[in-house]
Amino acid sequence: MLKAGEHCMTKSHALKHLSADLNSYCIDVALVTETHFKAKHADSAVSIPDYTLLRRDRARRKGGGVALYARSEQVLTPWTSSADDGTFELLWARVNGTFLGALYHPPRPVYTPTALLDYIETCVEEITHDFPAATIVLAGDFNQLTDENVIERTGFSQIILQPTRGTHLLDRIFVSSPIYTVVRVISSLVKSDHKAIVAYMHTKTVVRQQRLE
C-alpha cells in the first residue's frame, strides 16, 4: 500500500508521477489525500492505467478530496456507512477482505474534531459488527488530530514514527491488527511538501527514486 500525502492531482504531470511511484514500488493500493478533484474532473481524465479509481471529492468548497487507486486485479468493493455524512472527507473500500479508509482532515475543518472522531468510531463499529474477522486500516492526513484520540475511539495502533511534513507527523496509518512488515516514509515523485508512505504486508526492497522533471 502507498499512502500519498497531500497531492494536488489536477496539476500538470501529477498523475504521470503518481503512476511512476505506483509501478516503481509495486503498489497494489494507493490512498491519496487532497486530490482537488471536482465533479468537472471525469474519472477517465484522472485514471491511471491498470488501476481502478474510487474517489470522494470535497463538496462545495475548493481543495480537499481523497481517492483510492487499486491495481485492477485486486478485488475492490466500495463500502459506505449507513450513517454516511458527506461533511467528512473519508472514503472506505474493501480490498481483498481488508477495509481501507482514506481520510483528509484539513487544518481548518467546517466540523469539530469530536464530530469527526464520532463518525470514525461509528464507521469502525459498523464494519466490526458486520465483518467481525476483517482487518481495518485507516490512513491519511490527520493534521492536528492526535493519535491518542483516534486510538481511544478505535483501539487501533498507529504505525508511522517518522515526520511526513517538515518536522511534523501529519500523515499516519492506523491498523486494527499488525499486518504490515515493512513501513517506510519516502519522497514521492509527485511534487508535494509531504512525504509519502509505503507499507508492505511482505518484505520488499524499497527502491530509491529520482524526482522526474
Q: What's the number of CA atoms in the CB half-sphere (13 Å) around residue 140?
A: 29
Is the pLDDT reported for residue 211 higher than 90?
A: no
User: What is residue 4's predicted lDDT score, i.e. its pLDDT?
Assistant: 58
pLDDT at 5 > cutoff 70: no
123 within 8 A of 84, measured Cβ to Cβ: no
Read off the pLDDT of residues 55-102 as tens digits, 9 standing for 90 and up.
999 988 888 999 999 999 999 999 999 999 999 999 999 998 899 999
The neighbour count for residue 45, using CB atoms within 10 Å, is 10
- Domain membership of residue 124 (yes or no) is yes
Q: How confident is the model at residue 7 (pLDDT cuts 50, 70, 90)?
A: low
Residue 212 in domain: no
> Which domain covers residue 177, as residue numbers?
2-200
User: Does some domain include residue 52?
Assistant: yes
Does residue 92 belong to any structural domain of this protein?
A: yes
Mean pLDDT, range 1-30, rounded to an integer: 79
**How many domains does the structure of the chain reveal?**
1
DSSP 94-159: EETTEEEEEEE--SS-SS-HHHHHHHHHHHHHHHHHH-TT-EEEEEEE-TT--HHHHHHHH--EE-
pTM of the model: 0.90
* 167 part of a folded domain: yes
User: For the segment 109-168, what is each residue's pLDDT rounded down to a tens digit?
Assistant: 999 999 999 999 999 999 999 999 999 999 999 999 999 999 999 999 999 999 998 999
Residue 213 lies in a domain: no
Q: Is the pLDDT of residue 22 over 50?
A: yes
- pLDDT of 205: 44
- Distances 106 to 59, 103, 139 between C-alpha atoms, Å: 14, 10, 14
The answer as to whether 158 is a domain residue is yes
Instruction: Examine residue 211 and state whether it is found in any structural domain, yes or no.
Output: no
Q: The CATH number of the domain where 96 resides is what?
A: 3.60.10.10
Residue whose cell numbers read 499516519:
172
